[in-house]
Amino acid sequence: MMKAFLFPGQGSQRRGMGEQLFSRYPAYTATVNDILGYDITTLCLEDPDRLLNQTAYTQPALYVVNALTYIDRIAHEEKPDFVLGHSLGEYVALFAAGVFSFETGLQLVKKRAEIMAAVKDGGMAALLGLKMPAVEKILQTFNYTDIDIANYNSAEQIVISGLRTDILAAQKNFEASGAKLYYPLNVSGAFHSHYLKDAAENFGEYVKKISFSPPQIPVIANVSARPYTAALIPEGLTRQIASQVKWYESVSYLICQGDITFHEIGPGDVLTKMMGFIQANPLTAAEMNIIPPKPALKVADKVTTGSNGSVYPLWLKNFVPVNENGSPVAALQLQATQLGAESFRQTYGVKYAYAAGAMFHGIASQEQVLRLGQAGILSFLGTEGLTIQKVEEAVQYIKEQAGKEIPYGVNLWSHPERPETEDQLVALFIRHGVKNVEAAAYLGLSKAIVYYRVKGLYKDAGGNIVAGNRIMAKLSRPEIVEIFLEPAPKQIVDRLLEERLITAEQAEWSQRLPMADDICAEADSAGHTDRRMPYALLPVIRRMRDEAGKKFSGKYQIRVGVAGGIGTPESAAASYLLGADFIMTGSVNQCTLEAGTSNSVKDMLVEMNIQDTDYAPAGDLFEMGTKIQVLKKGLFFPARANKLFDLYRRYESLDELPVKDRTQLEERYFKNSLQTVFDTLIQQKDPAEISKALQHPKYKMSLVFKSYFSGSMTAALSGNLEIKEDYQVHCSPALGAFNQWVKGTALHPWRNRHADEIAMLLMLSTAVYLGDFFTSLGSSGIPPSRKTEQVLTGSVI
């Protein structure tokens, strides 16, 4: 069984704490006295000047006692599997994880305490008996815009923070609204609120001077309720001062990891008492949008074969020929690895000419990318809809967990209306050495994508120009394909050179090779789609590629693959027979254990068939009427989304809507008045957008309608069962075809599905299908020897 150590924060101090520790660890005690400039033993045991409850003294004292308690504890038992601390306690957790020394931690805490103690006139109050939605509604109803939620400690234990006068004035309204207890805390500042923003920035300057080591034990961060990565520790400690402590989610995250016990390390039992409430009603993995860890492999589930310890699922024998030891027959493995372009496998260092495409909002998750990469399969992290911070955390996670270089890439979504988003992503890619990018939704080349491409150019030892930053462009329009077949636009390159972002050599080299290494012909797919037929699209793009290649004297041969509709061996085989250099899957990976969507969505997806999708307007391109392909079985979203676009097209403002339609929208779609929906948007949107909406009624209608789309996506990702019928789930018939293929087998339940095993199954089964296909041709007059040669060498496919 795993164990986690919990370190309490401010509020757990009491006179007499550490009584046995100071004499037991005199060296540490002397060091503390030198750093603090006063006697820690006298402060904690006697507190003659009543300083122990003052922030400047409380925080260092608690850090010392908690840390010494930990040192004493691990002298007699094994270190824990996880550590986390509440607010100030997080510093002890980081010390326990080896991120910094005892002395460095104390210096950090001393500085933090001094900065926070300087903040005056603040107040905090603990609330009992109200859940988070209720607290948020009260804050909104009474227009308490200057009060923040500071601590989310359990389902019905929340702490708010603000000016002391505001906190005291709010008591009557919270109690009248159902709070069982409203208890103002004895603090001097509005800790963990926006009032501490300047203090956080001040502390951040100090943190920059500190060197941090990677955690040796996972530390759950207060700010994110997820494990810290080394790169995010400075930012996390800086943000923590003015950000909410997500204690409820942090503990729930650990509960989701499996059998675990919790031990409070420090004075008092505040966290222990809190644990009872959390364990009785923890947040679920679906509510937190996390993937529970996979159970250990059982002999009955897997077989290990070969000298390299390769592991294959037992169910594989139901699909392809296997040896006595459960591994696919050697000839079949060879055939699967020879499908498609050899240069694809060499360039990316992968086993198959196969890629798993990015699904936005992190559905193509960091866990999925890591698992596929460790299996030697290329995949792309889905970034559209994620914050830059989330993307960076995911990239860091992949790099740190892999422990070595693995094949992976990251999605780069076109944002012509927000070029700064692309700029930030590309800067992140370059900073972290991301070498492969999946470019999507491009109608033209941006400065950011050109910069990414050109910045990676270099010459190898043989004097050849090498593209260190590779681009795979997902495209469905020939006129856009043409842009990626050409060198980088010279006018953009010249701007980059003027701004000294690239060298003169890179500028010159950029004109001697195309913008893309690979083009993925995107046929009718999940989400945004032009509804192209792969059998029409792929040959056209291949011919364009062949013609463009002449400009580069055959030196840079762009590969052309295909995506959309691939969920069975037959569809994969058809793609290779059409000349695809690689295939890309999408929807089939959304119904796996690693996919970053909710369990309730996966429960729906696993039961879908090929007829269970429909087309609806895209929320991000709502005004244009651009379509996305979504799941329709059991959902109202497609019909309601189309109805909203129809109303938008027919009317010029919300006021023009017929009473019947307006009532339907308010009662069924938004479950609130349209004016209330807009009032909420005023708090969320950029002031410029709101100003535009107030001046242009049609734009206001668009903002209100689009909030349905964002809400339906959020509900699906989080698994909000209250509005399940409105889930927006991007999906193509490929998943329905896959479901029918594996129906009645061990792969029917989605909890048995893993993205890397699906890739292996598709490639091996495709090789079997093609072998049978060419055998049938041989019996019709094609010599079997020629057929065997073609299958093994891939010369016709």
The amino acid at 643: K
3-state secondary structure of 154: strand
Rounded-to-integer distance, Cα 673 and Cα 97, Å: 50
DSSP letter assigned to residue 227: B
Rounded-to-integer distance, Cα 438 and Cα 475, Å: 11
Structure tokens of 56? 């400047």
Structure tokens of 284? 């679920």
Let me know: does 607 contact 739? Beta carbons within 8 Å.
Answer: yes
The count of other CB atoms within 10 Å of the CB of residue 331 is 14
Q: What are φ and ψ of residue 533, in 5° steps?
A: -85, 125
Q: What angle do CA 244, 250, 253 make, to 5 degrees?
A: 145
Rounded-to-integer distance, Cα 526 and Cα 386, Å: 19
Of the residues 12, 161, 192, 379, only one is catalytic, namely 192
Which DSSP string do the residues of 492-520 spell out, in sequence order? HHHHHHHTTSS-HHHHHHGGGS-S-SEEE
486 exposure class (CB count in 10 Å sphere: 0-12, 13-18, 19+): middle
Of the residues 12, 86, 87, 510, only one is catalytic, namely 87
Rounded-to-integer distance, Cα 449 and Cα 470, Å: 11
Asked if 87 is an active-site residue, the reply is yes
Let me know: does 768 contact 760? Beta carbons within 8 Å.
Answer: no
Q: Which residues pair with 617 in a beta bridge?
A: 627
Structure tokens of 207? 């943190």
Q: Which residues pair with 85 in a beta bridge?
A: 7
Buried b (16+ CB within 10 A) or exposed e, 460-485: eeeeebebebbbbbbbbeeebbebbb
Start-to-end CA span in the chain (Å): 51
Rounded-to-integer distance, Cα 100 and Cα 751, Å: 40
Helix (H) or strand (E) holding 161: strand 157-163
Asked if 432 is an active-site residue, the reply is no
Rounded-to-integer distance, Cα 797 and Cα 677, Å: 55
Report CA torsion sign: 384, 387, 389, 394. Answer: negative
Three-state secondary structure of 711-777: HHHHHHHHCCHHHHHHCCCECCHHHHHHHHHHCCCCCCCHHHCCHHHHHHHHHHHHHHHHHHHHHHH
Rounded-to-integer distance, Cα 237 and Cα 204, Å: 8
Rounded-to-integer distance, Cα 123 and Cα 120, Å: 9
Rounded-to-integer distance, Cα 582 and Cα 555, Å: 20
Rounded-to-integer distance, Cα 227 and Cα 457, Å: 35
Q: Which residue, among 517, 595, 560, 532, has the nearest Cα to 359 in the 3D structure?
A: 595
**Residues noted as catalytic:** 87, 192
